[in-house]
Chains A and B, each alone.
Chain A
């Protein structure tokens, strides 16, 4: 009897889970892989803000950095995807198994704090975008936090993900707007040919921010887990690689147009971005006086999309490293650490925005600078793992790949150190 009963329960659960699975992994997801999803989440509140600030404050000055950033993003994401496919394990899993409990413990604390910063920035994005419509943040932030919590824990996130993804066509408006704004393409071209670095605090911080938002540490954990969850095999790896490369280029094309537009609309007119309304001016060539509405919509979507993924993916990452039960199929008491961490992130992320006089733009920007400063640390771990033959077998990095990636680490470290030194003096 017990046999039949547990069989019955099992089968009922299976029926539900199975159906959901198929529905969401239908045609839509056959075409859109983890790489493209990841890159769309990458253009979150922090991303849009940082790119806008980069254009508004330095004009075309930072545009050239997108070339090496794109290359670095492709190299890094490719390694993550490869590790996921070959080892079948998430990044935090591998770090724990290779580097032991102590290092993992402290690294996870750093990751938690960094990602908390990012979560705060997503809710800042919600607050900023809805303030354009005149909705107070005391209303919008708690409501969106409750919505996100409900969507992920009780609702059907997978089907809403399609809505978020579809709404990402918003980024096209930057591209269209970019052509309508009639930029001086010669100037754009020469900015790439004559890359310039200014050795001052502002420029270095901005550069680290742009890097940190494009190559956010948490994206690497998220991408690798998505690849593992999809159960991709080494034979299918070439499709994953294409997916990752395409996604990485997409992020940077959008970044290019945001910076370009802010350069020709804001920088040339000497406008400083002090609120989201200012950043929205970049879309004026396309949307005219409705530009702030369009911008608000895009920022809201980006913020909610990332706010739905970031806290839950962080909880998974941490629980995976420590072997705590982590599944949305569990009840709260079965997985207390998992739900506890998740709720704490959403609660703190939204709560901090509600403190009086929080500078929204500043939060969205500096969270990305922290990302950029943490990135080299995560990269070192990744490189040690991807070169470990016991984990990767014949799929370890080649020599060229290693030279490029260690060079990236070196440049990032020098840049971060330089920024810190300039901040201190």
Chain B
């Protein structure tokens, strides 16, 4: 037939599902139920077609590479017996409609959870690659079958043309099942999100998706996420995990956050996790746990650096460089005498501009602000507001340094006062 047929470059899944599949003579083979793709690739190529056969209604897989043409129907090269396969996907192969269409995915570019209205494929020669996920209203209308009438109305009434809202597949993380998350763990796209965004997304997910997503993350990312999540959700996430994994993650958290979280957990779970943790981290956390949460002792962290007065700037910098990764605070360092009384404080800036051979006691600031370990939250917040510092040393009744409170750990108390 001499029809002006322009080859389509893009195809939607909704245009392929349900259409007839015929052989080159035009005899019906069956109906398309689903497509499978290899999701190990960045843009998954379509591998097989799930077909309900015309003659005996059996459901089988046929290889996509034997498709000659897509044009309202799928034209399949005369099928050979070896083309028919049991409908069981191979490893890395995924039923696209079943796992993606109408399901929720994470758009890691926009940091949002979206619902998939359609899948868009790019046709290169005879191969089909999954390139975009359609999350827009236009795609929804196409599925409903009202695309044309609504588009017509909008154009006539408002002179408005609908556009597709497509997300590139490389920014899409499926959420359908725990298996799927595990399958794509090598290229888990969630890890590219900022922890704060990912924490938001996790809070929006339901209880099953939440733990599935959380388990798919490495301990370091998981710890970052936990620090950003609501305390109630923190507890439910950790309670769903076994003690060994939970302790790996909690070790990666900052000391004060870890202590807060363990304080919220049921007692035996918390103790189990503490036993699994590295001894020195566990000891530090236990020390923090001993203090009530609303007092200075419960807010402080013990992961900071202190030096004796005779240390030089060069030596101090060397220590900072070595230890910084495990510290909650490096912007201030404290100078202590032999009995842990604070003599002075230096900022990282002081160290950077000082000559390397200078001794700390020569340049330290002796005008010190500190709070008692039993000081209340509100008072500490007032002090922060008054002195404009980033961290506050905490001392016991004998004026010995016990820890420091970071400004950010007090934000929920400070923030309401900021407006005033």
Contacts and interface: CB of A to CB of B under 8 A. Distances in A.
Q: Do A and B come from one complex?
A: yes
Interface of A: 4, 6-12, 14-19, 21-22, 87-89, 96-97, 100-102, 104-106, 228, 231, 233, 322-323, 325, 327
Interface stretch (B1-9, B37-45, B229-237, B366-374): B229-237
Contacts of A4: 408
B144 A12 contact: no
B96 interface: no
Contact of A14 (B102, B103, B412, B413): B412
Binding site secondary structure of chain B = helix
Contacts of B115: 96, 322-323
B411 A323 contact: no
12 contacts: A15-B415, A18-B230, A21-B230, A22-B232, A96-B115, A101-B140, A102-B143, A105-B143, A322-B140, A323-B135, A325-B112, A327-B204
A314 B74 CA distance: 41
A17 B230 contact: yes
Closest 3 interchain pairs by CB?
A323-B115, A15-B412, A101-B143
A8 B144 contact: no
Nearest to B114: A323
B117 A231 contact: no
Given A88-B209, A96-B102, A100-B101, 4 more contacts: A11-B412, A96-B115, A101-B144, A228-B207
B209 to A, nearest CB: 7
Nearest to B206: A88
Contacts of B114: 323
Contact of B411 (A15, A17, A325): A15
Nearest to A86: B208
A100 B143 contact: yes
Contacts of B206: 87-89, 228
Contacts of A87: 206, 208
Given A10-B228, A88-B209, A231-B207, A97 B103 contact: yes
A231 B200 CA distance: 16
A323 B231 CA distance: 27
Nearest to A84: B206
A100 B145 CA distance: 12
A100 B34 CA distance: 13
Interface string B184-205: 0000000000101001100010
B104 interface: yes
Interface centre among A19, A21, A100, A327 (most CB of B within 10 A): A100
Nearest to B227: A7
A116 B413 CA distance: 42
Nearest to A334: B112
B143 A8 contact: no
Interface string B382-403: 0000000000000000000000
Interface in B135-187: 135, 140, 143-145
A21 B232 contact: yes
A101 B209 CA distance: 22
Given A96-B115, A323-B115, A12 B415 contact: yes
Contacts of B209: 88
Contact of A10 (B116, B140, B144, B199): B199
B191 to A, nearest CB: 16
B233 to A, nearest CB: 8
Interface residues of B, number: 35
Contacts of A89: 206
A323 B143 CA distance: 14
A14 B257 CA distance: 14
A14 B230 contact: yes
Interface centre among A6, A22, A106 (most CB of B within 10 A): A6
Contacts of B199: 10
Given A12-B411, A15-B411, A322-B140, A6 B208 contact: no
Interface of B: 101-104, 112-117, 135, 140, 143-145, 194, 196, 199-200, 204, 206-209, 228-232, 236, 408, 411-413, 415
Given A11-B408, A88-B208, A323-B115, A6 B194 contact: yes
Contacts of A231: 207, 236
Contacts of A12: 411-412, 415
Given A7-B408, A21-B232, A101 B415 contact: no
Contacts of B232: 18, 21-22
Contacts of B116: 323
Contacts of A14: 228-230, 412
A14 B203 CA distance: 11
A101 B230 contact: no
Contacts of A88: 206-209
A311 to B, nearest CB: 22
Contacts of B413: 15
Contact of A7 (B145, B196, B230, B236): B196
A8 B117 contact: no
Contacts of A22: 232
A22 B264 CA distance: 13
A217 to B, nearest CB: 21
A21 B234 CA distance: 14
Contacts of A17: 230
A323 B207 contact: no
A323 B207 CA distance: 18
Contacts of A106: 144
B228 A7 contact: yes
A7 B196 CA distance: 7
Contacts of B204: 327
Contacts of A8: 408, 411
A338 B102 CA distance: 19
Contacts of A16: 412
A100 B135 CA distance: 14
Contact of B144 (A7, A102, A233): A102
Nearest to B199: A10
B411 A100 contact: no
Contacts of B408: 4, 7-8, 11
A228 B204 CA distance: 12
A104 B199 CA distance: 30
A12 B230 CA distance: 11
Nearest to A10: B196
Nearest to B104: A323
B214 to A, nearest CB: 14
B182 to A, nearest CB: 18
B207 A233 contact: yes
Contacts of B412: 11-12, 14-16, 18-19
Contacts of B112: 325
Contacts of A104: 102
Contacts of B135: 323
Contact of A105 (B104, B113, B144, B415): B144
A349 B417 CA distance: 40
Nearest to A25: B232
A101 B228 contact: no
B151 to A, nearest CB: 16
A65 B145 CA distance: 42
Contacts of B144: 101-102, 105-106
A96 B115 CA distance: 10
B76 to A, nearest CB: 25
A87 B231 CA distance: 23
A96 to B, nearest CB: 5
A105 B137 CA distance: 12
A276 B413 CA distance: 50
A87 B177 CA distance: 11
B331 to A, nearest CB: 11
A279 to B, nearest CB: 42
Nearest to A97: B102
